[in-house]
C-alpha cells in the first residue's frame, strides 16, 4: 500500500452511520453563512503532507466547517491557522496558513492525520466511532514507520489514539500508559528497534487558544524539540 491509496480509501469510508449523516447534513444544509456559496467536501479527511514523514502530527477529528468543508486536515478554520503557522515557524510548512486546496501550502517532512476522520457533532466522537476509525490511523502509522523520527499529538484524544495505534502495530509502549500533559515526551520503541518519541501539546482548538491555555510560545517550544528530533 502507499499513502495515496490509503488516502483515497479513507475519503470514501462510510463505516460510522452517525458521522456519515452528520458530515453530509452539514455539507448540504448546515453550512456556516460565510461559506454558504462554497461546495463542502462532506467526506472523511485523509492525511495531508509529506508521504514519507519524519514527523506525524495526530489531531482529534475534522471540524464541521473546517476539514469537512475544505477536505484538508486542519484547513479553513482557526485551529488550522494556529497549527500551520506554528509548523511554518518550525520549518515544516511552506506558508503560514492553510485555507483551501491550491493555496500554496505544502508540508516538508511532516504529515497530519487524526484519531477520527469524520467531523463529529459537538467535536465529540463516541468511543465506538473512535474504535471504528482506529484502523485508518494504524495504516498511517505503518506507512510512516520507515522514515518516522517523532510524533506530535494534539490533545489527549490524539495522544491516547496514537499510543493505542502504536501498541496495535507492534511498538513497545510502557504500562501503565503514559499520561497526557502539555510538553510530555514519551520514548517509544518501534517494531524495527528504534526510539521514536511521542510529544504532546494541548490541542489547538479555540477553547485552548482563546483562553490562553495554549500560547504560541508553548506550541513553539514543543515544536522546537520535535525539530531537533526530526532534523
Ligand atoms: Fe470511516 Fe473513520 Fe469516518 Fe467512521 S470516522 S466513517 S471509520 S472515516
Q: What is the pLDDT of residues 114-133, one digit of tens each?
A: 999 999 999 999 999 999 99
How close is the Cα of 116 to the center of ligand 1, in Å? Answer: 7
Q: What is the CATH classification number for the domain harbouring 47?
A: 3.40.470.10
Pocket test for ligand 1, best of 46, 115, 132 (most atoms within 8 A of CB): 132
* 32 pLDDT more than 90: no
> Which single residue is written with the C-alpha cell 453563512?
33
Cβ of 56 below 6 Å from ligand 1: no
CB atoms within 10 A of CB 102: 6
In the predicted model, what is the mean pLDDT of residues 6-15? 98
6 pocket-lining for ligand 1 (C-beta < 6 Å): no
Strands across the sheet containing 110-114: 48-49, 110-114, 55-59, 150-154, 195-201, 185-189
Distance, CA 129 to ligand 1 centroid (Å)? 7
Give residue 213's domain range.
3-230
| Rounded (10°) angle between helices 216-230 and 78-89 | 50
pLDDT for 201 equals 98
Q: Is the pLDDT of residue 177 over 90?
A: no
Q: Please, what is the average pLDDT of the chain?
A: 96
Please determine, for residue 193, whether its predicted confidence score (pLDDT) is greater than 80.
yes
The ipTM, to two decimals, is: 1.00
| CA of 120, closest atom in ligand 1 | 5
Q: Is the CB of 126 under 6 A from ligand 1?
A: no
- 185 forms beta bridges with 199
Among 29-33, 119-123, 188-192, 193-197, where is mean pLDDT lowest? 29-33
Q: How many domains does the chain have?
A: 1
Q: In terms of pLDDT, which residue wins out, 205 or 33?
A: 205
Average pLDDT, stretch 91-95?
A: 98
Amino acid at each position: 500500500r502507499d499513502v495515496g491509496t490509503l488516502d483515497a480509501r479513507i475519503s470514501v469510508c462510510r463505516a460510522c452511520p452517525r458521522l456519515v449523516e452528520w458530515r453530509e447534513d452539514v455539507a448540504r444544509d448546515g453550512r456556516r453563512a460565510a461559506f454558504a456559496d462554497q461546495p463542502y467536501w462532506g467526506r472523511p479527511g485523509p492525511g495531508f503532507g509529506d508521504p514519507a514523514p519524519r514527523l506525524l502530527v495526530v489531531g482529534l477529528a475534522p471540524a464541521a466547517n473546517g476539514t469537512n468543508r475544505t477536505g484538508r486536515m486542519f484547513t479553513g478554520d482557526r485551529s488550522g491557522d494556529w497549527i500551520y503557522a506554528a509548523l511554518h515557524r518550525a520549518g515544516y510548512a511552506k506558508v503560514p496558513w492553510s485555507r483551501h486546496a491550491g493555496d500554496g501550502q505544502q508540508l516538508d517532512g511532516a504529515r497530519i492525520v487524526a484519531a477520527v476522520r469524520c467531523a463529529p457533532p459537538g467535536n465529540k466522537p463516541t468511543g465506538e466511532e473512535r474504535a471504528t476509525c482506529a484502523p485508518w490511523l494504524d495504516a498511517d502509522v505503518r506507512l510512516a514507520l520507515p522514515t518516522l523520527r517523532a510524533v506530535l499529538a494534539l490533545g489527549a484524544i490524539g495522544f491516547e489514539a496514537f499510543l493505542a495505534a502504536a501498541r496495535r502495530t507492534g511498538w513497545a509502549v510502557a504500562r501503565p500508559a503514559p499520561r497526557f500533559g502539555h510538553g510530555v515526551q514519551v520514548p517509544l520503541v518501534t517494531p524495527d528497534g528504534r526510539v521514536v518519541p511521542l510529544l504532546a501539546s494541548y490541542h489547538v482548538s479555540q477553547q485552548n487558544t482563546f483562553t490562553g491555555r495554549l500560547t504560541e510560545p508553548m506550541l513553539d517550544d514543543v515544536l522546537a524539540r520535535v525539530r531537533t528530533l526530526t532534523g
